[in-house]
Amino acid sequence: VKKAEARLLQEQNSKAYVSLAGAELFRDQMRDLVLGDAVAADRVATLQTPGGTGAIRQVFESMKILNPDCTIWISDPSWPSHMSMATHMGFKTRGYPYFDNETRLVDTDAMMASFQELKAGDLLLLHGCCHNPTGANIDMDTWKAITDLVIEKGVMPFIDIAYQGFGDGLDQDAAPVRHMASRVPEMFIAASCSKNFGLYRDRVGIAMMIAKDADTAEVVQGNLAVLNRLNYSFAPDHGAAVVGMILADAELRAEWMAELEDMRMTMLTIRQNLADALRQQCNSDHFDFVAHHRGMFSRLGLNAEQVLSLRDDHGMYVVGDSRINIAGLAGNRHLPFAIAVAKVATVS
């Protein structure tokens, strides 16, 4: 990123506006990064947005036009802004079961059973990988079943992929998105560059809509540009210019991929170290799921009393639902945390 910024400083000769839809190089490169060759490029309308949050907002704005009476289905739990944004915009919402508090994995049976109540035109919001806040991911067989279901029921799928490259690798993390994109006639995607490029404050995101054909995508592209104009005119250019340059330059791209892979492996190592320490301290495999989760977060399944005890008795602060940020346990910080968890948890 620093190298791209330095090059941009030397090469950029204007601060004039880019198009309402955003920088074309950035949009094309991000489309290919997320979708690969899963769908023809001329079926994909793209919109540069202020971060992944801006992308989600513009998808919801699009649904206000397409089907304002739809119900937006959101995993329970989910990133809190999913639900708060949808309700703020006046949508009907429904939470679907996602996390099994006993196994600390995806409750696939309960989730799929709830999906039987989806109605044509509803928007089904799914995390593409590295589920926030649980860390538990849907397996590929279930993704295929969900894809079949949304086609059968005429549901509009919407995949939010904010952590591509943090789970099992860039292509592996995008596999669910690519599978669904290759099958469904239409879908929305929101992607963020905050995490995998470290561009949090630069607000770099993209919204994509896959249309049934190229002609429809052209119409959608124009409508998306109008939405940008109505909401904020132009997304910030600097971060998007950096991302576009990195992805389009073979040397910079290779260096970025190596750095991202190093970060991914670091988090996997922290996960394994924490799981091993918890197994040793608790004399139980109760927390082995931590090693199987992916991304920056895991939900430990502690109750409110145990979370308070961690804070008050051991000086360990976690979110009230027992979500932890794996990156905060780098070095040897996992060990005192595991000791504290073992003292408050009741496991067998």
160 is catalytic: yes
Helical axes 2-11 vs 250-282, angle rounded to 10°: 160
Q: Which amino acid is at 187?
A: M
Q: Which of 4, 23, 143, 195 is catalytic?
A: 195
Strand residue runs (E) in 98-143? 123-127
Q: Please give the backbone phi and psi of residue 258, each rounded to the nearest 5 degrees, phi first.
A: -65, -40
Q: 127 has which bridge partners?
A: 160
162 is catalytic: yes
Q: Which of 21, 23, 162, 240 is catalytic?
A: 162
Q: What angle do CA 203, 208, 213 make, to 5 degrees?
A: 165
Q: Which of 73, 79, 143, 256 is catalytic?
A: 79
CB atoms inside a 10 Å sphere around CB 103: 11
37 is catalytic: no
Q: What residue spans of the chain are helical by DSSP H?
A: 2-11, 24-35, 51-66, 80-88, 108-115, 140-153, 170-183, 214-231, 238-248, 250-282, 289-292, 304-314, 334-344
195 is catalytic: yes
The DSSP code sequence of 261-313 is: HHHHHHHHHHHHHHHHHHHHHHTSSTTTHHHH--SSEEE----HHHHHHHHHH
Q: Which of 160, 173, 202, 237 is catalytic?
A: 160
CB atoms inside a 10 Å sphere around CB 172: 14
State how far the Cα of 268 lies from the Cα of 103, in Å rounded to an integer. 20
Nearest Cα neighbor of 188 from 170, 172, 211 is: 211
- Positions marked active-site: 79, 160, 162, 195
